[in-house]
A and B are shown apart, each in its own frame.
Chain A
Amino acid sequence: MDDLTQTFIQESEELLTQMEDALLALEDEPGDEEQINSLFRAMHTIKGAAGIFGFDPVVDFTHPVETVLDQVRSGGRALDDELAGLLLQCKDHTAALVEQITGVGEIEATLLADGYTLLEQLTGQVQAPAVAADAAQEGVVEQEPVGPPHWLITLKFHPDALRNGIDPVSFIRYLGNLGDVVDLILHHDQLPGSDAFDPESCYLGFDIIFHSDASKQEIQAVFEFAEDDCDIRILPPAEIECAFEQMMDELPDDHTQRLGEMLLAVGAITEHELTGSLQQQTEQATAEAEAPVLPVGHILVEQKAVSRELVDKALDKQQKAKQKASHEASLIRVDSAKLGRLINLVGELVISNAAVKLRVEEQGLGELSELVAASEHLVEEIRDNALQLRMVQIGDTFSRFRRVVRDVSRDMEKEIELVITGGDTELDKTVVEKITDPLTHLVRNSLDHGIEMPQERLRAGKPAKGTLSLNAYHDSGHIVIQIRDDGAGLDATRIRAKAEAIGLVKPDQVLTDKEIYQLIFAPGLSTKDKASNLSGRGVGMDVVRRNIDALRGIIDIDSEPGTGTTVTIHLPLTLAIIDGFMVSARGERYIIPLSMVEECVEMEATAWQVDEDRRYVNLRGEVMPYLSLAEFLQIPHCHDDHRRESLVIVRIGHHKAGFVVDTLHGELQTVIKPLGRIFSGFRGISGSTVLGSGEVALILDVQGLIQAATAQMQLH
């Protein structure tokens, strides 16, 4: 696939997303002109671009849609719910068309048929394939030609043309090879009286309406030989014109680009025309030193080489590019692989800097340590900046659910409003990509099982319209994502019954409601009595949990019968480099992500009422489980065992635990290295890092350890 097609696909996708956004926004604010215009623009631009590529099925489909949108824009047709629904389907259909035509190259008959049905619903007219379609559309007032565009070619032959062996007719005839000459107007106003008439001179001019897919350059080439004896103007058809405009938009913002170059780049003028006008400009400048020099754009318009609109647009763009260049917030598109490499390199830099620091400390080079500290500070800043490059706002991910919520509420005849807050919270792009699937599942779950039918809601004394809110915020090095609904809440009794039925819990086991809610993340547990078309798509809550686990995150569920359910997800901000806290137990060194460390205290049995049997400590009135790293990780005894143990308190969300360690080494920048697939099954260790000394240290899986500690406490 060539770059242009790629651009077409990308742009169509963007436009269709815009269209969807606009449609959804219009539901909230009907009649918003800006949004209606944006709808129209999306269809119009896709049609234009598809026309350039000759993707006729796309043009055939988008054209009637555009017509309808034009009616909406002019107030001729109201954008009601039904139409909005149809337009959303049209958007999906267009996406499917674009996908097939750019992928396979042709459209499947079934898809085409779908398109016709859709158009029928949309226009109320029968849309039949090909010829019949044209016939059916004859009644439509506004009728833009579909198919190859019309060019306007103006030829004015010089009097000497015939003498120089140029035969106007032969050129016009040759045009027939490129397309159809639809109409031809002969200009004979130059014809002198019969006495002054010179049979060897040419007095004729032609306006030709020419029907062809050929490019301007190709058409220009036809008249290559006649260039010296003929004034040639080739005006692009309206569709091509708008394509030019669109291509103009796509031109990279380069404020140094000249107007002529821009017009040439989009193909609106030929090189010949440009040199001609530039020459004229120079001639003018030398001839009339006093008079102001006309800009190239002006000359080109005067020569009818391009339309004024296009020149204005180009000038506008030039201006904007200049402004943008002077503005600091200019954007650069960068390949994400390049960013990945940069972040890897920064990681190596962090490690080698740590190595330098270690050596300086070992050798006791006092005067160097200041330099090392300075460079460490810089490296830290570079690291933060590099990681910042990959940060994106979560708002775009959230916005995707507008459509889901809308479709689901229609399908299930529920009334649901989506409230998004904290959309500007940033997190790593790689995390965003992996969070979309679990989020979708959770949202669908809330819509399907959480929020009740309107009648039921009214009976329960709640407003008929349910609310689903998505919220995001930062909390101690984590991003927290909340999905909250004001639905019926979880039914603890039913979950428990199911869990007992599949043997997950014993009938006599005492569980709090919250513990029961957590059971829905266990594999094989489903409280659905019947599968709907929303759920039961293969992703269960256990998969959601696994996905979150894989991101080193934690998922919590809170529910209040009758008032709703809140799912809270804590995720680390990044998967690449973190601030770590190094501890050691029996001589082995381990890293705890610093953001999860709450505090470190000395392990004193008397001060914290350590209960060794039941494995908990009472830290200033707060009871929490603890575990000994050395025991849990089965670290072999070594000779330098010492008794001054410390307790590191870690926290994720509401979960807290203490880890007993021998030595606290302090903070260090930690580049997370995967531990390899062969270790992927192990809980307790989430990754590894390379220390300044070249040794490998393991990063503790705090979440897994907290779970283990909690479990231990409950066992005893």
Chain B
Amino acid sequence: MTDKTVQHALHGGQFLTFVSGDELFAVDIMQVNEIIEISALTRVPKTPDFIRGVINLRGGVVPVIDLTAKLGNGLSDLTKRSCVVLVSIERNDVQQILGLLVDEVREIIDITDDHVKPPPSFGDQADTRFIQAMAQVDQLFIILLDVSRILEQHEIEQAGAIAEQLSDSVPQAAHSNH
């Protein structure tokens, strides 16, 4: 992690907290568009597990990410309390809306700057780039998410490449057979 993101991470503010798996997460409320009930999810073939699918948001199609699966803890179960937190991210100057599938939405809390700590090292295995910082509030540890890094470009490309391999196991050019 670069120095710049560390500095950025150490700012407090108002955060929306929610539970996914056994963890408590928080997202800067300025990045949260809305919270909606979970509606019918449509699976997209050949995508990584943590992309749970797409939903219809007032006529637009929005991808939904399963945070638990993203952390490598298996798919989260859909319950009555499951929600989709819609966040807007900016990628290459293009605004995009992303849904985060969470088990339960908690509350909006104030986190002061001095409660924000840089994230600890989790070793090499865990993919933790989307963890912006940790915060300690009332003896609880909260993971502050950097939503813009939940879906890394290379992951998308990787996933795309896997799909390509599956469909293009021989040279594409040789597809015509008449």
Contact = CB atoms under 8 A, between A and B. Distances in A.
A294 B175 CA distance: 79
Given A518-B174, A634-B46, A708-B167, A681 B156 contact: yes
Interface stretch (A6-14, A433-441, A685-693): A685-693
B10 to A, nearest CB: 29
Given A518-B176, A522-B173, A707-B172, A679 B63 contact: yes
B59 A351 contact: yes
Given A676-B63, A695-B42, A704 B167 contact: yes
A521 B175 CA distance: 12
A324 to B, nearest CB: 39
Nearest to A520: B173
A504 B170 CA distance: 10
Contacts of A710: 175-177
Interface string A661-699: 000000000000111111111111100101001111110
Nearest to B42: A696
A696 B173 contact: no
Contacts of B53: 696
A655 interface: yes
A694 B46 contact: no
Contacts of A100: none
A511 interface: yes
Contacts of A679: 44, 47, 63, 156
Contacts of A697: 42
A272 B42 CA distance: 72
Interface in A327-355: 347-348, 351
Name the interface size band of chain A: 35 or more
Interface in A370-411: none
What is the interface of chain A mostly: helix, strand, loop, or mixed? mixed
Contact of B170 (A351, A674, A711): A711
Given A518-B176, A696-B54, A696-B61, A682 B170 contact: no
Given A681-B160, A684-B163, A348 B59 contact: yes
A633 interface: yes
B40 interface: yes
B77 to A, nearest CB: 16
Interface string B32-72: 00000001101111110001011110011111000000000
Interface string A554-569: 0010000000000000
B178 A655 contact: yes
A635 interface: yes
Contact of B55 (A505, A696, A704, A714): A696
B167 A683 contact: yes
B96 interface: yes
A519 interface: yes
A682 B163 contact: yes
A56 interface: no
A684 B45 CA distance: 9
A707 B175 CA distance: 5
A515 interface: yes
B168 interface: yes
Interface string A175-208: 0000000000000000000000000000000000
Contact of A715 (B56, B63, B170): B170
A514 interface: yes
A711 B173 contact: no
B44 A522 contact: no
B155 to A, nearest CB: 9
Contact of B46 (A519, A521, A633, A688): A633
A655 B63 CA distance: 32
A654 interface: yes
Interface in B17-42: 39-40, 42
Contacts of A676: 54, 61-63, 96
Interface centre among A347, A522, A625, A684 (most CB of B within 10 A): A684
A160 interface: no
B47 A682 contact: yes
A633 B47 CA distance: 10
B91 interface: yes
B45 A714 contact: no
Interface in A508-564: 511-512, 514-515, 518-522, 556
A518 B59 CA distance: 39
Nearest to B65: A678
Given A707-B167, A711-B168, A688 B54 contact: yes
B89 to A, nearest CB: 10
Contact of A683 (B55, B56, B163): B163
A648 B159 CA distance: 28
A557 to B, nearest CB: 9
B124 interface: no
B157 interface: yes
Contacts of B45: 632-635, 682, 684-685, 698
Given A634-B46, A684-B167, A678 B175 contact: no
B169 interface: yes
Interface string B144-161: 000000010000110111
A588 interface: yes
Given A512-B177, A676-B63, 15 more contacts: A504-B171, A515-B177, A521-B173, A556-B176, A674-B61, A675-B54, A681-B157, A682-B44, A682-B46, A690-B59, A696-B54, A696-B61, A710-B175, A710-B177, A711-B174
10 contacts: A520-B173, A522-B171, A588-B42, A635-B43, A655-B178, A681-B156, A684-B163, A690-B56, A690-B59, A711-B168
Nearest first, the 6 closest Cβ-Cβ pairs linking A and B are A681-B160, A633-B45, A518-B173, A696-B42, A707-B175, A708-B167
